[in-house]
């Protein structure tokens, strides 16, 4: 695996840590910005909405740049937003800061995943995506508790300054560890956008939204469920969430190993298991041991479907930055749908409701995969991706990338030391 993929994971980790930081610092930020806790909660919604709506627009602005340059530009935008957050004296300024960082984060995901495809052979791209997306999993496992700890000990502004330092370190690693490549060959914005006329791509995007919506309808409310139904103390919940985060890292790694060869079967099995774990959690929420087992099961097969989801979308569309960013926007849409509808479900039916809702969304997601699975969609999707790649000059681009990397290896001992799988 090229070392540059691990560098991309570091960048994603920085972005995700900033995204999650607000969730762990809501009371402190409310006091510091003279706002209410619900108003601080709206910052999370604003970040997600900015990712979904603004990310693709910023991607269009940078996709003509060489990928390393595009990543550095996005780091600069992200850093500006994060510094603005650290120095904000009012709620309005903080809202603008979160919108800026949200847009930059989403565009970064798209460019990074597109670069993963260019840096690796087709047969290991799912594994490369899994490595890069471990930045997301580690953001949940480590980034959230660390930013919360820093905020509690040194103040919430210190948490944003810490993320800014992390972003600078990730940008420096990108400059040193990501090879210089020309912009990805394409037919321009019209050609990039043309793939969205394909029904297969929209089915893949719908599946991704439902996978994430199912997971976040439950995950968003694990804290009140574990304390209100399962009987755990508030002090035990962070440890349980760390265990959940560890399960996502394990699941992401396993799915990454299988995603390239068994894309649709992995998605089908993952959605089925997620539905069963969520339903089991709903039924057994009052029994601590089986409830925690079901929660960890959701960690293993929920957001960890990302490598298979990305592989399917890239085969149905292409591996370009616009497709990857729009896919990330649909994933963010799943977060918004799951968390918001889950809140309505709790108000209407109680704390078990978001678990049942998640099970229903996962079952619906399964229905978007099964027809394609029965029809041999995996093989057709792969063939379609190859055909499109030839049509858009991707083969020529891959050869160009290889030549550039070889030349870079001669000039740069660091790049020449990059291991390959």
Q: What is the pLDDT of residues 164-180, one digit of tens each?
A: 999 999 999 999 999 99
Closest CA to 17 of 187, 169, 159: 159
Distance CA 18, CA 77 (A): 13
Same fold, 1-179 and 197-375: yes
| CATH, range 197-375 | 1.20.1250.20
Class of 1-179 per CATH?
A: mainly alpha
Q: For the segment 187-232, what is each residue's pLDDT rounded down to a tens digit?
A: 567 777 889 999 999 999 999 999 999 999 998 889 889 999 999 9
pLDDT at res. 187? 57
Long-range contacts (CB closer than 8 Å, 24 or more residues apart) made by 81-90: 82/18, 82/160, 82/163, 82/164, 82/167, 83/160, 83/164, 85/160, 86/157, 86/160, 86/161, 86/164, 87/157, 88/33, 89/33, 90/33, 90/34
Question: What does the pLDDT look like over 360-395, one tens digit per residue?
Answer: 999 999 999 999 998 865 444 444 444 344 334 333
For the chain, the domains span 1-179, 197-375
Q: Which region among 177-181, 331-335, 342-346, 386-390 has the lowest average model confidence (pLDDT)?
A: 386-390
| Distance of alpha carbon 313 from alpha carbon 305, whole angstroms | 12
């Amino acid at each position: 695996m090229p070392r540059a993929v691990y560098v991309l994971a570091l960048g994603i980790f920085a972005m995700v840590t900033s995204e999650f930081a607000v969730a762990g610092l809501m009371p402190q930020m409310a006091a510091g910005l003279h706002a209410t806790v619900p108003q601080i909660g709206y910052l999370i919604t604003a970040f997600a909405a900015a990712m979904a709506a603004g990310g693709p627009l910023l991607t269009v602005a940078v996709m003509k740049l060489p990928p390393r340059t595009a990543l550095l530009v996005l780091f600069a935008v992200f850093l500006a937003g994060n510094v603005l957050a650290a120095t904000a004296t009012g709620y309005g300024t903080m809202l603008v800061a979160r919108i800026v960082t949200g847009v930059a984060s989403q565009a970064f995901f798209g460019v990074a995943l597109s670069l993963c495809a260019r840096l690796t052979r087709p047969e290991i791209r799912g594994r490369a995506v899994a490595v890069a997306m471990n930045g997301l999993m580690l953001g949940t496992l480590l980034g959230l508790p660390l930013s919360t700890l820093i905020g509690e000990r040194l103040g919430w502004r210190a948490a944003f300054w810490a993320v800014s330092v992390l972003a600078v370190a990730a940008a420096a690693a990108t400059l040193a560890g990501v090879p210089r490549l020309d912009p990805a060959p394409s037919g321009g914005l019209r050609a990039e956008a043309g793939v969205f006329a394909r029904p297969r791509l929209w089915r893949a995007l719908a599946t991704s939204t439902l996978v994430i919506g199912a997971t976040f309808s439950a995950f968003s409310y694990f804290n009140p469920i574990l304390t209100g139904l399962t009987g755990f103390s508030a002090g035990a919940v962070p440890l349980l969430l760390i265990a959940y985060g560890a399960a996502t890292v394990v699941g992401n790694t396993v799915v990454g190993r299988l995603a390239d060869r068994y894309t649709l079967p992995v998605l089908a099995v993952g959605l089925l298991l997620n539905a069963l774990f969520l339903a089991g959690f709903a039924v057994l929420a009052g029994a601590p041991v089986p409830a925690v087992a079901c929660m960890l099961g959701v960690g293993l097969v929920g957001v960890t479907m990302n490598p298979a989801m990305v592989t399917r979308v890239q085969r149905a569309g292409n591996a370009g930055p616009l497709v990857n960013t729009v896919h990330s926007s649909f994933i963010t849409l799943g977060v918004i749908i799951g968390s918001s509808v889950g809140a309505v479900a709790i108000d209407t039916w109680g704390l078990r409701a978001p678990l049942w809702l998640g099970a229903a969304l996962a079952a619906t997601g399964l229905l978007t995969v099964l027809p394609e699975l029965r029809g041999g969609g995996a093989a057709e999707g792969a063939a379609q991706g190859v055909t499109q790649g030839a049509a858009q000059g991707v083969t020529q681009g891959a050869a160009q990338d290889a030549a550039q990397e070889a030349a870079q290896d001669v000039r740069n001992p660091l790049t020449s030391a990059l291991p390959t799988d």
